[in-house]
Amino acid sequence: MRKFEGKKIVLATHNEGKLREIRDLIGPLGIDVVSAGELGLPEPAENGTTFEENAATKADAASMATGLVALSDDSGLVVDALDGDPGVYTADWAETEDGTRDFDLAMKKVEDALQAKAVSDPKERTGRFVSVLCMRWPDGHREFFRGEAEGHLTWPPRGTSGFGYDPVFVPNGFDTTFGEMTAEEKHGWKPGDKTALSHRARAFKFFAETCLGV
């Protein structure tokens, strides 16, 4: 496992929600973060069939374009009753005809697919959010960090916090959706904490402990 000893990384994302959460997590560690979106870098085509492949694609593009160590996140919602969909196509389910993304539409697509299979019992509506972080050095070396948050899908959506599919996901052990939680409740983590709740915070905890040594 290669340690990161620098003070600046480029976060390979154009997603404001991801940027906000990663900055919340990495800020206390004294590392400066600039995003690919802020630098005006183009978004690479994500043609992978796994979260790891797509995370590597994004990290490679950002690192090669800037000469910096890059950190990427590829994440998505995996629904058991839908045979793992939307999975790596989580963002694609939100795409509209004009090329924008509408996650209200995406959440409705998931619910319609569950209703088409007559899946209404919470015990049958299980799934998980998955996050894979990839850190990529300019010499091509990569490290991967995976986090998962188990839960079930609810309907209708609840809460306006977070982003994406957060309002329909209830993590195990809670009665509230990610969309009803504050940022601190959802992904708050700091060095020394034994646990983290969200998929991204769990992946980041793994990254921080193994790659940053905190």
Could you tell me which residues come within 8 angstroms of residue 207 by beta carbon, excluding any fewer than 6 positions away? 71, 133, 135, 143, 145
- Catalytic: which of 73, 74, 85, 166? 74
* Amino acid 158: pLDDT: 97
Q: Is the pTM of this model over 0.95?
A: no
Question: How much is the average pLDDT of 62-78?
Answer: 96
Residue whose C-alpha is closest to residue 129's, from 102, 165, 156: 165
Active site annotation includes 175? no
Specify the CATH architecture of the domain 8-212. Answer: Alpha-Beta Complex (3.90)
Sequence spans of domains, the chain = 8-212
The pLDDT of residue 120 = 92
**Residue 31 and residue 22 in contact, taking contact as beta carbons nearer than 8 Å:** no
pLDDT tens digits for range 138-176:
999 999 999 999 999 999 999 999 889 999 999 999 999
The one-character DSSP state at 95 is B
Q: Which backbone phi and psi does 20 adopt, to 5 degrees?
A: -65, -45
Element (H, E) at 18: helix 16-26
